[in-house]
Amino acid sequence: MLHLSTLRFRYASGRAIRNVCMAVGLIFSAPAWAEPITVVALGDSLMAGYGLAPEAGLVPQLQAWLTEQGRDVVVVNAGVSGDTTAGGLSRLDWSLTPETDALIVELGGNDMLRGLSPEEARANLEAILKGGQARGLPMLLVGMKAPGNFGADYKARFDAIYPDLAAQYGAVLLPSFFAPLTEMADPAAAHAMMQADGIHPNAEGVKKIVAGLGPKVLELLGRVKSFSP
């Protein structure tokens, strides 16, 4: 005959084993997407944060904005000041580490400022998008608008690069990096959000640009699939 104390011991032991098994099951059934999403932001000085304090650059401000949205994301700053589309393409392979889940491409401004061929910029950006596509990465392409300095034909050819490639490669498109500033009703207020060089936004300008960029990044994150380690 079993004593009551023996039954209690067996019941307690069985319950402990069951609890351990449940805990182990929860650990191994946890979805892989519980890990932070890693987004590589490939770009030039606008991405690198030229002329700004480290915490005021585009990537840190975007990171903070995404955190405020409750998103568990790590944005990797792969911006290099002065980089052209050719420069971005040359460092694509080592920028896209195995941890990369999504790619932001912000390049072309320096090609435009130097009057380089729009066809050359298009070819380089296409090669970058092909590289991201080959890795199965959802992508966000940040567009640029050329001024009229090089003529209407140059502007038309350059401006068409971004919507064309975004459609071709299924990338999320932000039509114009500077739209949040250029579309302000008060030109003086927009000018006050630029650094002295008239090319790079200051900290307040970046904040306004991030407010326009952020929703597009959320759309990008929505395309990131869960993955197995």
Q: Which residues are catalytic?
A: 45, 197, 200
Q: How far apart are CA 175 and CA 112, in angstroms?
A: 16
**In which residue are the tokens 């402990």 written?**
16
Place of tokens 């700053």: 77
* Residue where the block lists tokens 């990044």: 217
Q: Tell me phi and psi for residue 225, to 5 degrees.
A: -90, 155
The whole-angstrom distance between residue 86's C-alpha and the CA centroid of its chain comes to: 19
Q: Return all residues near 84 (Cβ < 8 A) that are at least 6 apart.
A: 44, 107, 110, 111, 114, 116, 121, 124
Q: Determine the residue type at 173.
A: L
CA 132, distance to chain mean position in Å, is 12
DSSP string, 165-227: HHHHHT-EEES-TTHHHHT-S-HHHHHTTB-TTSSSB-HHHHHHHHHHHHHHHHHHHTTPPP-
